[in-house]
Amino acid sequence: MSALTFAKIDQTVLDTLHPAKRSYWILVALLLLGVLAGAACWGYQILVGIGVGGQNNPVAWGTYLINFVFWVGIAHSGTLISAILHLFRAGWRNPIARAAETMTVFAVCIAGLFPFIHLGRVWQVYYMLPYPNQRYLWPNFLSPLMFDVVAISTYLTVSTLFWYTGLLPDLAAVRDKAQGVRKKIFTYLSLGWTGQHDQWRHYTRGYLFFAALATPLVISVHSVVSWDFALGIVPGWHTTIFAPYFVAGAIHSGLAMVLTLMIPMRKVFGYEKIITMDVLENVAKTIVFTGLIVGFAYGTEYFIAWYSHNIVELESFRWRAVGDYRFGFYIMVICNTLIPLLFLIRKIRRTVVLLFGISILVNIGMWYERFVIIVGGVAHGFSPHAWGLYAPTVIEYGIMFGSFCLFFFLFLLFAKHLPSISMTEMKETLEKGEAHAT
């Protein structure tokens, strides 16, 4: 393995920004089509009514909120990797930090779309803003949905700024190599970065502060999202464990998504030397850890249901395991806690194909976890007469498909137009002699 040099890092990363091949644009166009299909589904829903989805009474929340929580969850590991691991000086996070952060920003954006899609009257969404009005109508700050608005918008702002801050020196590096229009754009984007000492000083300070600021957000955002449920009195939702349980779950799914994205990118862009097997292995190890936390939470829920002697809770959890949605429950348990345990075997966590496969399974498992919680709770709630089932419709699948297309569409654009690996941080680690955590 030839040693990495500054020049080599620059070269490898900047090479990825060369004009793309036709196949890339075809892929981008296909994804855009998918996005448009999703948008069309949404448009249809606005026109006809939310009833084009499968929600009903008692299950008034369906895939829209499942996807919301799913994407917020995905958005977590980006900040975890770039901020928390930065504070912990875990050098192995450097090669994947940029991509993970980007993933975060895009995932939050998409997550933020879903509450809008979910609303019965999206055209009145501004009622949620505390704007001054004659009637003194104010939003209800007791509502967990208001918490959500605050939490998600804060998270989006901070993670975007953090991402952009980290990007600055690299943008300048691109500008220096670029020509023509690209040069103009990157000159504009790099905000006059010259690489002076003062700039570097401010930059590193600023970055550190951002990291410190973003860290509590990682915990808070998904805690708040979990309160959407935990503050409801629905059996299966109304539990104090939800905040840590959701945060762990979010990180779990986020890490899996990092693997899902990094592995193909590493292959396509030839990043093998930068994103080494060790980096992937470290991610896999963390997944084992988060998977165990999630598994522990599953167990705790059952224990508390039994311990409470509350027949409503008991029935809710009995039904979760043997009722109509039992397959969702099995997928969730198997994919989230049992399968990641395979990473305990060194050979498996160092085999790229297996890493990729398992990461996708974890993603599926985490989606089903949200399904089991969100749909399962209300489907089998307090009133036995009102028990009912829910199944998503074509429109809902369309919107969900559109959201995935949008995510990959944005990510593909990013990968080809912005440096997908932080050259700055790679060089830092190289200089400190601990190149990518070997």
Partner 1 sequence: MDRRTFLKIVGMGSVSLAASCSPPDKTLYSLVQAPDDMVTGKASWYASTCRECPAGCGILAKNREGRVVKVEGNPLHPINKGKLCMRGQAALQGIYNPDRIKTPLLKEKDGWRPVSFSEAEALLQRKATHAAKTGPGKIGMLTEIVGETLLKLFTESLAHWKSQRPMIFEPFAYESLKTANQKVFGIEGMVSYRLEDADVLLSLGADFLDTWLSPVEYAWKFKAMHALNNGKKGVFIHVSPYQSLTGANADQWLACNPGSEAAVAFGLIREILKLGRASRLPRALRFKIENTARFYTREKVSELSGIPPNLYEQLIHRLIRADTPLILGTGTGATGPNTLQSNIAVNYLNLLLDSKLSLFNFDERHRIGLAAIRSEVLEFFKNLDKNSVELLLLNNVNPVYALPSGSGIRKALERDSLFVVAFSSFMDETAELADLVFPARLPLEAWDEYGGKNGVVSTLQPAMGRLTGAPHLGDVFLRAAFGQNGPTDNYKTYLVSGLVAKGRIKDDRSWIRTIQRGGVFEPWAPASQKRRSIPQSAPRSMNKLSDPFTSGLSFIALPSIRFFDGRGANRPWLCEVPDPVSRVAWQTPVLVHPKTAEMHGLRQEDVVRIQSQWGQLHAPVYITESIIAGTLAMAFGQGHTSYGRYAKGVGVNPGDILTADLESISGGPLFAVGEVTVSKSGRVMKLARMYGSRTQQGRKFALSVSLAELNKGKSTEKSGLTMEDFPITLPLRAGYDKKRDFYPPVDYENYRWSMVVDLDKCIGCAACSAACYAENNIGIVGEDRVIDGREMTWLSVERYLDPQQGEKITFLPMLCQHCTNAPCESVCPVYAPHHSKEGINNQIYNRCIGTRFCSQNCPYKVRRFNWFSWNWPKPMNLQLNPDVTVRSKGVMEKCSFCIQRIKAAHTHAKNEKRAIRDGEVIPACVQTCPTSALTFGNLKDDNSRISKLAQTPRAYQIMGYLNTKPAVIYLKKVRQEI
Q: How far is the CB of 148 from partner 1 (least distance, A)?
A: 8
Q: Which residues of 90-125 are buried (b: 16+ CB within 10 A; e: fewer)?
A: ebbbbbbbbbbbbbbbbbbbbbbbbbebbeeeeeee
Binding mask of the shown chain, residues 134 to 173, with x at each position contacting partner 1 by CB under 8 A = ---xxxx-xxxxx--x------------------------
Answer yes or no: are the C-beta atoms of 438 and 278 closer than 8 Å.
yes
Half-sphere exposure of residue 128: CA atoms within 13 angstroms, side-chain side: 18
Under the binding rule (CB under 8 A), the answer on residue 321 touching partner 1 is no
CA distances from 275 to 17, 101, 230, 253, 430 (A): 18, 15, 39, 20, 13
Under the binding rule (CB under 8 A), the answer on residue 30 touching partner 1 is no
Under the binding rule (CB under 8 A), the answer on residue 196 touching partner 1 is no
Query: Which residue, 46 or 437, has its beta carbon nearer to partner 1?
Result: 46
Binding-site member from 169, 381, 398, 419 for partner 1 (CB under 8 A): 381
Query: Which residue, 30 or 60, has its beta carbon nearer to partner 1?
Result: 60
With a CB cutoff of 8 Å and minimum separation 6, the contacts of 97 are 81, 82, 85, 86, 166, 422, 425
Query: Which residue, 311 or 345, has its beta carbon nearer to partner 1?
Result: 311
Query: Which residue, 52 or 261, has its beta carbon nearer to partner 1?
Result: 52
How many residues sit close enough to partner 1 to count as binding (CB under 8 A)? 53
Q: What tokens does 101 get?
A: 């952060």
| CA 337/CA 288 separation, integer angstroms | 8
Under the binding rule (CB under 8 A), the answer on residue 225 touching partner 1 is no
Residues 31-50 that bind partner 1 (CB under 8 A): 48-50
Q: How far is the CB of 306 from partner 1 (least distance, A)?
A: 16
Under the binding rule (CB under 8 A), the answer on residue 299 touching partner 1 is no
Query: Which residue, 3 or 47, has its beta carbon nearer to partner 1?
Result: 47
Q: How far is the CB of 404 from partner 1 (least distance, A)?
A: 24
Query: Which residue, 13 or 59, has its beta carbon nearer to partner 1?
Result: 59
Residues 398-437 that bind partner 1 (CB under 8 A): none
Q: How far is the CB of 398 from partner 1 (least distance, A)?
A: 17
Binding-site member from 206, 244, 357, 388 for partner 1 (CB under 8 A): 388
| CA 253/CA 271 separation, integer angstroms | 23
Query: Which ranges of 16-143 does DSSP label H, i.e. alpha helix?
Result: 22-48, 63-79, 85-87, 94-118
With a CB cutoff of 8 Å and minimum separation 6, the contacts of 89 are none
Q: Which residue has the tokens 């959201």?
A: 403
Answer yes or no: are the C-beta atoms of 363 and 103 closer than 8 Å.
no
The stretch among 11-19, 113-121, 170-178, 179-187 that binds partner 1 (CB under 8 A) is: 113-121
